[in-house]
Structure 1
């Protein structure tokens, strides 16, 4: 049944459902804080000569359409607001929920910034945005600089950006870049024919395509990523962020990077009850060169990771990058579908336009058409709080380079993970930097990796740096390890550092360290402590007399005693020539701090113990 509106309707309830919807002449629909669901098509103006019929989505109202096969049509317009989050010097990545008005119901119309973006005058009136030629956009009146309007599909090099500032139209589903206005966050009115149905975008192996949520509703990242027709991509979504403190239009001044997001559902996790596993990593800021890649030797200038966050439900207008899967041939496609659409408000913690993280967001206001009994929960740091089950674990590593750049890595543990690539659980490193760290599988670097947990597992950790500098590794967001140790093993020094107790610090020469560091869950001390304990063997620091004491009551055959600081620098190594029941070593000339004492027996078993030296 088709529903006609010849005057107007105000939608203030929670949900409105229609089989078909037609708005004629100068009538309009005004939906406020509500879901409007239409099973089949929408016609705005119903083929008449007037162009005044309107469909307004306001105060987080959204439109979802069902499985009907008829496309939307008409010369009237659906209007929906979205707010950009950057100033005139930084990019937002966008997608358009509407195309140019068209009476053709067989296609989703192409769009350009010239024909869908408007300045807001009142709740029901707007005026087309002015497309200017200067470098800076303004808010009053709304002027969009055409200098920064680009699309990208698909490619690998900076030179492959496609300029669309001349009014070039792009198909529904593709994204575009646009800088903001001098006032900062800017409200835009997207007005045109609402997109509907299957929307295809091109991908190619290991190449990037800039896409965007093409619907006037939120998009479920899980449904999009795990659609059986979307195996042509890697399963990770990448979101651009720039340092908002850098006020420059010069590419060589830009400081930015890509956040990564993926999600999966493991029915075997959480003791067989199942669990969603969401993997998000903030952008690592780096200075960019004229070729668009990070500059060798250039610090980020921030000292920290970026501050924005991504959640499962992608808001209206949000743009992001996808990457074609390794091994696909030629140009393949990825599809957006109505079944991926979801009613999730941006005031919910689960759906936010890519903006500054606020872990104190309101509780989930989800009013989806289906019941989701396993909502993702978040902790005080804004990360997913996993169900309390030891078969599903995770930790993050913060790898700090000279206190200037931090690469954050995430490792998931879940029963379904394999030793190969796990779609929805792992994210390749899209933007390697001159100073970087990553997990590795074969030759592929990962910023997010997954395994089934095994206490005997070793996880290689690669570090690459462009000049001599200090390196620090910190652990963060440790979940469901229940006070178990997580070690960084430095295979050069042979020392295991329990990251849950102290950070790892060292100084490295420039180069790539692909076989020096690994994450383990057992140390040599773990393997040999029982032998030492059987003989009441002990190592301790006596700060009163500034001595390292090794108590050996059973006179075990000791080969050597060594002491290193937390950077791995050796303070001394003493070869033991005779068996005694006690050894004492002066620490009077050492600086206060944390050290690692290692006792090696003649059978090559070792005991490493952390000591704290405080010289009075």
Structure 2
């Protein structure tokens, strides 16, 4: 094995004698886990350090590092996804030495990423502002501390010489907007360092300047990337975070219905599902498995909704101007610790210089230059006094008068500018080192991170943990045809199964909607018995980036627009939709794109206004709507209520009784179940239609005079509204 560790004065509180030896050269550790009560690394010589290559070091109590950020000795180096996990929540790390841990640079100098530092400044003794955090108020230099400020030289963000080297150079923070690579060395502009705490408006971004606004443990921050690509001499651009490792209880303030940018504060991966379930007051059963079987999970108080929001953006946009940004927020909900969680990718939209969504006038002309909106005679509806159609749809007051701005210009209706691109599906269950994300508060309080959430999970293991999206995005053309890869799946609707690792497999399906031929909205549905038809924290994911023209779920007793709907399955369940349109006429094309179970019948879009059922599992359905918001018209259902099963059909057929009273010259049709009747037809023996009675409704008895009929055999056919047919022969003999 090449998993090496160099141990110097590694002292255990249990006094393990084998860990007290001094080694001036590297030796190979044959064990995947190194456990100790305490970890002490003395300064010694320049070769006195710990080097962890791709493994986990677990320390029960505190870590004491006696080195320095700018020297080799007395420090702890985590390489090739090596990670440090600590056990005791209240142990205070100390010393001026550093842990050095890598995370990859974002894709280019124009691209934002949300970060969270795994380390703090070992020389900073200023009390923290996030009350309850391990190390809060300590003036003795122990415990967690603020992250470095741009003008510090005590650690912070460094540039590694290689992916395995212990040598790194400080990355200077510079003025201006662009990162630089000068003679192979990184330079990062401090202009883009911001944090966002307890607010729901763009104006609450706060510049991290080290005086008015500092970065406390657990808080997230923004930082742009380096260069115009992601390769330099064949080495992917990693950033080296150097400082005292964060440990134990870390709290960040939240407030009701306000967003806060937080992140993984540790030099290890973090079980994001556990974090979200704990802070939303949900069950955390199984959150210790399979990586932390030695702990007993405990539940926390509800202070957040239980969803995490991740910024995604188009890497091809090369601009620092907010008005050029193209991006959006993906939504992750854990649902259950024994489940992988659900992630709904973002739809990319443009922004204004103020950070709000950019709008554009609603067009009144199609691609051929013809008016979209015309009256019955083919004349343009929106036109000037000469009949020339407006290029855009004007805004009118309630009396139908054109609206004008202060300059006398016509005011037009506006809509969000969608780019036609969406983000990717990214694994979010485990947050890697340095990952930042938004959460939404449900009350004033603190979102808490605990050592119990720390896990040893590598990003290099497929389908486990991802720091950022790749360099690609998904463009919109047409929705994909149903890609049901497991049509023969034994998983049934409403059931559960388990994968080879013992994790839940829940029945789920995605619906993709192509909106106005511009962009695709994907909504996800998951069946789970431990859920409700209302809004369930940590299960349902709301549409934080709802557009003017959009489709979401609506759930009981909530005003939220939901794009991940977790619900208890029954074949009769109905999932209402909210469909909005900003243009005068809006187009939608809808189809189930993925599912992992066999439905009892199918999956339908039910239009309650027309009472039509459209099988969107087996084919796409296109429809148009006029401008407006529709919250009580459409729903997703799992059976066609107008289609009866075999037993119901036979019961309806058996209920009919047809008889001929020749004495009264009258045919009678009895309908005791009061089934809705579409038509009753009378044919002679040659098949010629003699009589047709339409739309008799639910009448229990229908009579038809037969006195004008010739003597003979006739066939009576009854057809219901559900197209059930019942036929019977009768004999007519008119008595003279």
Task: Tell me how far 1:102 sits from its aligned partner.
Answer: 3.3
Cα distance in structure 2, aligned partners of 1:134 and 1:560: 77
Cα distance in structure 2, aligned partners of 1:520 and 1:380: 19
Task: Tell me how far 1:264 sits from its aligned partner.
Answer: 3.0
Give the 3 Å change call, closer, same or farther, for CA 126–603 of structure 1 in structure 2.
Answer: same
Task: Tell me how far 1:411 sits from its aligned partner.
Answer: 1.5
Give the 3 Å change call, closer, same or farther, for CA 232–68 of structure 1 in structure 2.
Answer: closer
Cα distance in structure 1, aligned partners of 2:491 and 2:276: 22
Cα distance in structure 2, aligned partners of 1:408 and 1:98: 37
Residues 1:111 and 2:147 aligned together? yes
Corresponding position of 1:513: 630
Residues 1:602 and 2:602 aligned together? no
Corresponding position of 2:343: 280
Residues 1:419 and 2:482 aligned together? no
Give the counterpart of 2:271 among 194, 217, 220. 220
**Higher Rg:** 2
Give the 3 Å change call, closer, same or farther, for CA 295–559 of structure 1 in structure 2.
Answer: farther
Task: Tell me how far 1:57 sits from its aligned partner.
Answer: 0.3
Q: Relative to structure 2, which stretch is displaced further, 193-202 or 503-512?
A: 503-512
Unaligned runs of 5+ residues in structure 1 are 267-274, 359-378, 537-553, 562-575, 585-598, 610-616
Cα distance in structure 2, aligned partners of 1:5 and 1:142: 38
Cα distance in structure 2, aligned partners of 1:336 and 1:38: 18
Residues 1:84 and 2:188 aligned together? no
Give the counterpart of 2:335 among 226, 243, 264. 264
Map 1:348-363 onto structure 2 (within 5 A): 348-349=461-462, 350-356=464-470
Task: Tell me, yes or no, if the aligned pair for 2:540 and 2:562 is still in contact at 8 Å.
Answer: yes
Task: Tell me, yes or no, if the aligned pair for 1:413 and 1:453 is still in contact at 8 Å.
Answer: yes
Corresponding position of 1:180: 225
Corresponding position of 2:357: 294
Give the counterpart of 1:391 among 495, 501, 520. 495
Cα distance in structure 1, aligned partners of 2:688 and 2:348: 50
Give the counterpart of 1:313 among 430, 442, 452. 430
Task: Tell me, yes or no, if the aligned pair for 1:390 and 1:481 is still in contact at 8 Å.
Answer: no
Task: Tell me how far 1:245 sits from its aligned partner.
Answer: 1.8
Task: Tell me how far 1:116 sits from its aligned partner.
Answer: 1.0
Q: After the TM superposition, list the runs of 4 or more consecutive aligned residues in structure 1 that deviate by more than 6 angstroms.
A: 46-51, 379-382, 385-389, 528-536, 554-561, 580-584
Cα distance in structure 2, aligned partners of 1:201 and 1:414: 31
Where 1:252 maps in the other structure, the secondary structure is helix
Corresponding position of 1:148: 192
Corresponding position of 2:716: none
Task: Tell me, yes or no, if the aligned pair for 2:268 and 2:433 is still in contact at 8 Å.
Answer: yes
Give the 3 Å change call, closer, same or farther, for CA 119–386 of structure 1 in structure 2.
Answer: farther
Give the counterpart of 2:570 among 429, 454, 460. 454
Task: Tell me, yes or no, if the aligned pair for 2:311 and 2:437 is still in contact at 8 Å.
Answer: yes
Where 1:226 maps in the other structure, the secondary structure is helix
Normalising by structure 1, report the TM-score.
0.78
Cα distance in structure 2, aligned partners of 1:447 and 1:429: 6
Task: Tell me, yes or no, if the aligned pair for 1:251 and 1:292 is still in contact at 8 Å.
Answer: yes
Corresponding position of 1:17: 35
Q: How far does the alpha carbon of each residue in 1:327-375 deviate from its partner, in whole angstroms, 9 at most, with x for none?
A: x2xx3001111110000011112111122399xxxxxxxxxxxxxxxxx
Task: Tell me, yes or no, if the aligned pair for 1:151 and 1:176 is still in contact at 8 Å.
Answer: yes
Task: Tell me, yes or no, if the aligned pair for 1:24 and 1:48 is still in contact at 8 Å.
Answer: no
Corresponding position of 2:386: none
Normalising by structure 2, report the TM-score.
0.66
Corresponding position of 2:180: 138
Cα distance in structure 2, aligned partners of 1:11 and 1:230: 44
Corresponding position of 1:40: 61
Task: Tell me, yes or no, if the aligned pair for 1:12 and 1:34 is still in contact at 8 Å.
Answer: no
Give the 3 Å change call, closer, same or farther, for CA 347–583 of structure 1 in structure 2.
Answer: farther
Question: Going by fraction, where is strand more abundant, 1 or 2?
Answer: 1
Q: How far does the alpha carbon of each residue in 1:223-272 deviate from its partner, in whole angstroms, 9 at most, with x for none?
A: 21222225201111111001112222221221111111111338xxxxxx
Task: Tell me how far 1:219 sits from its aligned partner.
Answer: 0.2
Give the counterpart of 1:336 among 449, 471, 476. 449
Corresponding position of 2:300: 229
Cα distance in structure 2, aligned partners of 1:73 and 1:381: 53
Task: Tell me, yes or no, if the aligned pair for 1:16 and 1:36 is still in contact at 8 Å.
Answer: yes
Q: How far does the alpha carbon of each residue in 1:91-114 deviate from its partner, in whole angstroms, 9 at most, with x for none?
A: 111011111123845431101363
Task: Tell me how far 1:532 sits from its aligned partner.
Answer: 6.4
**What is the total number of aligned residue pairs between the two structures?**
530
Cα distance in structure 1, aligned partners of 2:647 and 2:247: 66
Give me the CA root mean square deviation. 3.5
Cα distance in structure 1, aligned partners of 2:110 and 2:301: 34
Corresponding position of 1:162: 206
Q: How far does the alpha carbon of each residue in 1:433-465 deviate from its partner, in whole angstroms, 9 at most, with x for none?
A: 212211112322211122211111111100112
Cα distance in structure 1, aligned partners of 2:467 and 2:175: 27
Cα distance in structure 1, aligned partners of 2:536 and 2:70: 54
Give the 3 Å change call, closer, same or farther, for CA 308–354 of structure 1 in structure 2.
Answer: farther
Task: Tell me, yes or no, if the aligned pair for 1:4 and 1:24 is still in contact at 8 Å.
Answer: no
